[in-house]
Structure 1
């Protein structure tokens, strides 16, 4: 495995002396990853089910029953709610908030303050790096946007449908525009990428985290997901080359907020 370079982790503390073997550190990191992702999924499911019970009380008069989800009258409502702006905003807000807090708590308990900050990349980066990566990311987005306009099969109307059904745009911006990017970056470019670096080089870690990032967006069509993959790659290299998680968080946040403001984008 190639050594971590100064370019990736500017701070001299970036690779502390490990008490545990790298393989064990990786396993512990992946265990936390799995637990946090499960809590994230359960939080999203809880918000969705709460809204389902509120809208269809006649099907849940004796309490929530998972078996009711197989009811042909209930399933279309579940699919409809998954595209509802208010529900999307609420699920993104609560799942992002709860899962981010749990992730930070567990990583700090596992690695200690200095180790957690190093693993996740909780450190500042020079302003010029923010500007450089904003420029790189903007070029990528413009290229993907041009591809989507040239080939309609790469377009998606997901955000248009979400915006068309929302009654609280501020909540949508907070949930989808801010908390969702923060959580995804902490999970993928923070915990996952940092844990992978115990065993593999930066390029493999970036590739795996980009693949996971793509799979977290199953609400899109397969062709649209292919456009998400290069975004994950750029976000990963922004993380390892700046040494700071705040760089990919900013890029991801800008992308989501712009997608809300200009929903015709891919």
Structure 2
């Protein structure tokens, strides 16, 4: 390939468009979740007019059934929106851009081992510090009402959306900027952690470490399919 061909080869959106599109996707995601929560609250209050409204309002943030509805209702649409923003970049190779390609069996095996080590180390530190499991996870499992919907939301749908957005679209846009690969891993991990405000600072730190692991897997293999699997396995173990 000549120098001119390399220079003219389509590349992902630059840093600021990437951050802007990501902000739009996240605003849509959380906006839809708020709308679903409002509709859910209206329905429940209509069915139970004598309910303690203050206690009910507080319970919404840890309601597993509502979480299931919110994720199932918003994540697929926002995944499609992310892919559409990527496709707006004309003549781009979408598979390379978003990491929509398979890793090797060896890569899957190796990174599952790394995930197991991460889980063992973080669990060991948590036990050593005598920190209780996150009450958020415990409560959403208790209030799931229909467990298959919760498992579908947390183990399948949420990892697909978050990995396509963070380790796909956002990762590649940042990596191709002056911030490079290290900046991409750190920033995507930080932003991904920040959206999980349901956890306390300790567990957000644990999540940030997982984000680093997922970012490294994306960088080394170029596969978001791999990071989706790692994310899903981690979430599965969390709810179990």
Global fold match (TM > 0.5)? yes
**What is the Cα deviation at residue 155 of structure 1?**
2.9
Counterpart check, 1:31 vs 2:31: no
**What is the Cα deviation at residue 160 of structure 1?**
1.4
Counterpart check, 1:140 vs 2:118: yes
Counterpart check, 1:151 vs 2:133: no
SS in 1 for 2:14: helix
Q: Name the structure 1 match of 2:214.
A: 235
Q: 2:35 aligns with which of 46, 50, 53?
A: 46
How many residue pairs end up in the alignment?
234
Q: Name the structure 1 match of 2:144.
A: 166
Structure 1 unaligned segments of length 5 or more: list them.
1-11, 61-72, 262-266
Q: 1:249 aligns with which of 218, 228, 233?
A: 228
- Give the Cα separation in 1 of the matches to 2:90 and 2:117: 37
SS in 2 for 1:152: coil
**What is the Cα deviation at residue 190 of structure 1?**
0.8
Structure 2 unaligned segments of length 5 or more: list them.
none
Deviation per residue, 1:166-195 (Å, 9 max, x gap): 221110111111111111111111111111
Counterpart check, 1:123 vs 2:101: yes
TM-score, normalised to structure 1's length?
A: 0.80
- Give the Cα separation in 1 of the matches to 2:203 and 2:40: 28
* Mapped contact 2:10–2:90 kept (Cα < 8 A): no
CA-based RMSD of the aligned residues comes to: 2.5
Q: Name the structure 2 match of 1:90.
A: 69
TM-score, normalised to structure 2's length?
A: 0.89
Q: 2:162 aligns with which of 170, 184, 188?
A: 184
* Mapped contact 2:13–2:89 kept (Cα < 8 A): no
Q: For structure 1, which segment, 149-158 or 239-248, has the greater mean C-alpha deviation from structure 2 after superposition? A: 149-158
Counterpart check, 1:198 vs 2:176: yes
**What is the Cα deviation at residue 198 of structure 1?**
2.0
- Give the Cα separation in 1 of the matches to 2:7 and 2:41: 48
Per the alignment, do residues 190 and 154 of structure 1 end up closer, same or farther by CA in structure 2, a change over 3 Å counting?
farther
- Give the Cα separation in 2 of the matches to 1:39 and 1:154: 33
Q: Name the structure 2 match of 1:9.
A: none
